[in-house]
A and B are shown apart, each in its own frame.
Chain A
Amino acid sequence: MTDLNQYNFAYLDEQTKRMIRRALLKALAIPGYQVPFASREMPMPYGWGTGGVQVSAACLTPEDRFKVIDQGADDTTNAVSIRKFFERTAGVETTERTAEATVIQTRHRIPEEPLGEGQILVYQVPIPEPLRFLEPRETETRKMHALEEYGLMHVKLYEDIARHGKIATSYAYPVKVQGRYVMDPSPIPKFDNPKMEMAAIQLFGAGREQRIYAVPPYTSVVSLDFEDHPFEASKVDQPCALCGAGDTYLDEVIMDDEGGRMFVCSDTDYCATRRAEGHLGALGVPAEDSAA
């Protein structure tokens, strides 16, 4: 990894970044539309979010402050690797604080703290095509998007209800963007769907599938549903055991071999910030004690 220093700013050459930026601008101009792009080999496996990494590389400037989260956490191997990658190749400042970051690359979550104008949220996307589940032919799904033939999305939800008695899709829950394109929000929990109507720019990169799409600030993002089975941004009906927050997405954590478990904020920065402010959950300890 030492010779990464010899590469261009943020690893990719300027021509590639220009190509990706053109795709990003097109994606922003047509919210929710999947723009093909020539995905480059990155020095990491596909499963590590090479699509998101390329989008981040095309967006970063030397003045940016970069944050990476993986399932809400800043400290997973994946998040740490990507953060280090850009520390080395772009020399940008990094942070774990959502509010301080200008570019946030994410896998599977939207931060709890509302994002503002001037921030960019970059999603790592494994499968960009929401219609893929029922229609494997790419030529046909393209046509369905072009002609707004989205009945099939509701067939998927119908099947869910028929099988489980309710819409059981809890991740990658399909949305309609600005009343036009149906979009896969990447495997974020459906709890996060309502947050997608935000002030920040949202960019989505799928490396293996070579697609980029985007949601500009203040764009309407509506989760698909039925009149008699309305969309619900559901979560575990408990407060965070550490910070006591009642309105955050929770991860279940096994505590010991006896099957003890607790639910804690999946957004580690949000949880730590709340504890630092003095909020305490049932099993929480004051912030200074858990600083390690």
Chain B
Amino acid sequence: MTPLLDVRNIAKRYGARIGCADVSFDLYPGEVMGIVGESGSGKSTLLNCLAGHLEPDAGEVLFDTRAEGPRDTVTMSEPERRMLARTDWAFVHQNARDGLRMGVSAGGNVGERLMAVGARHYGQIREQALDWLERVEIAPDRIDDRPSAFSGGMQQRLQIARNLVTGPRLVFMDEPTGGLDVSVQARLLDLLRGLVRQMGLSAIIVTHDLAVVRLLADRLMVMKSGRVVETGLTDQVLDDPQHAYTQLLVSSVLQV
């Protein structure tokens, strides 16, 4: 079986400082990979390199494209990469405002990706938007409201709907529950877990919150100072951490 994503020796420096270095891993269809670490561990840099937002200094990111099989997204042309970004990929930002159009209605936000790939039937676009609002537990009568009128949790759910509406094959998530109240986080996590299971999503989730990966991730990579210090099945890593840093991370969660 061809991996959906085959990451080889990704490195990114900021001057003398290491953003991330020597990161390699595979992601198979239907798998969710969690990347954990403290802020400054390089996990966000890595995610941005994988999603094409940052150009790595070295390494390959081979994505199994529909048409041509594995292609290195680092060296492909910008138009091809942007095409992937609005079709087969999705990116959920920590701050919903970065991932939504605040001046556009909820329906327009969800419909944008559909229209970007050629949907030209208003009634059908609206129907799909309604369906997705329902799936992320937003009342249908909010479809014409702007996200600025939504709570933080609703905005994040809207961002998820907007990203998943075209059935992306790979979803990047950057701290999807960050900045939300604990009770709101719990609801969002339940929702995400449901969607991941129903849709068989392949995803890479970056977070500092071990509860998030415990619920969502099949496998885990622990990063420290730009490098991966431990990888394995999520339960294995969390229940029996081998690296001293992972042990510290896990115990600090237990203390909370």
Q: Which residues does A use to contact B, with CB under 8 Å?
A: 134, 143, 146-147, 149, 151-152, 154-155, 158-159, 161-163, 225-229
Contacts and interface: CB of A to CB of B under 8 A. Distances in A.
B104 A155 contact: yes
A193 B137 CA distance: 42
Given A134-B103, A162-B107, A163-B144, A229 B122 contact: yes
A162 B144 contact: yes
Nearest to A133: B103
A151 B117 contact: yes
B105 A149 contact: no
Interface string B82-103: 1100100000000000000101
A229 B120 CA distance: 9
A163 B119 CA distance: 19
Given A151-B115, A152-B112, A155-B111, A226 B101 contact: no
Given A155-B115, A163-B144, A226 B120 contact: yes
Contact of B121 (A134, A147, A227): A227
Contacts of B119: 154
B122 A158 contact: yes
8 contacts: A147-B79, A151-B116, A155-B104, A163-B105, A226-B120, A227-B122, A228-B122, A229-B122
Given A147-B79, A149-B86, A151-B115, A159 B122 contact: no
A210 B121 CA distance: 36
B99 to A, nearest CB: 15
- Secondary structure call for the B interface: helix
A207 to B, nearest CB: 27
B113 interface: yes
Interface of B: 78-79, 82-83, 86, 101, 103-105, 107-108, 111-113, 115-117, 119-123, 125-126, 143-144
Contacts of B126: 162
- Secondary structure call for the A interface: helix
A278 B16 CA distance: 84
A13 B113 CA distance: 48
A151 B162 CA distance: 14
A134 B111 CA distance: 14
A162 B79 CA distance: 31
Given A228-B122, A229-B122, A155 B117 contact: no
A159 B120 CA distance: 13
A159 B113 CA distance: 14
A151 B121 CA distance: 13
Given A151-B113, A154-B119, A227-B120, 11 more contacts: A134-B103, A147-B78, A147-B82, A149-B116, A151-B117, A152-B115, A158-B108, A162-B108, A162-B126, A226-B121, A227-B121
A158 B125 CA distance: 9
Contacts of B111: 155, 158
A155 B123 contact: no
A151 B143 CA distance: 19
Contacts of B82: 143, 147, 149
Contacts of A151: 86, 112-113, 115-117
A158 to B, nearest CB: 5
Nearest to B101: A134
A228 B115 contact: no
Contacts of A158: 107-108, 111, 115, 122, 125
Contacts of B108: 155, 158-159, 162
B76 to A, nearest CB: 13
Which among B82, B101, B108, B120 has the highest number of chain A CB atoms within 10 Å? B108
A163 B145 CA distance: 10
A225 B119 CA distance: 11
A227 B120 CA distance: 6
Which among B86, B115, B121, B144 has the highest number of chain A CB atoms within 10 Å? B115
Contacts of B117: 151
Contacts of A155: 101, 104, 108, 111-112, 115
A146 B79 CA distance: 9
Contacts of A152: 112, 115-116
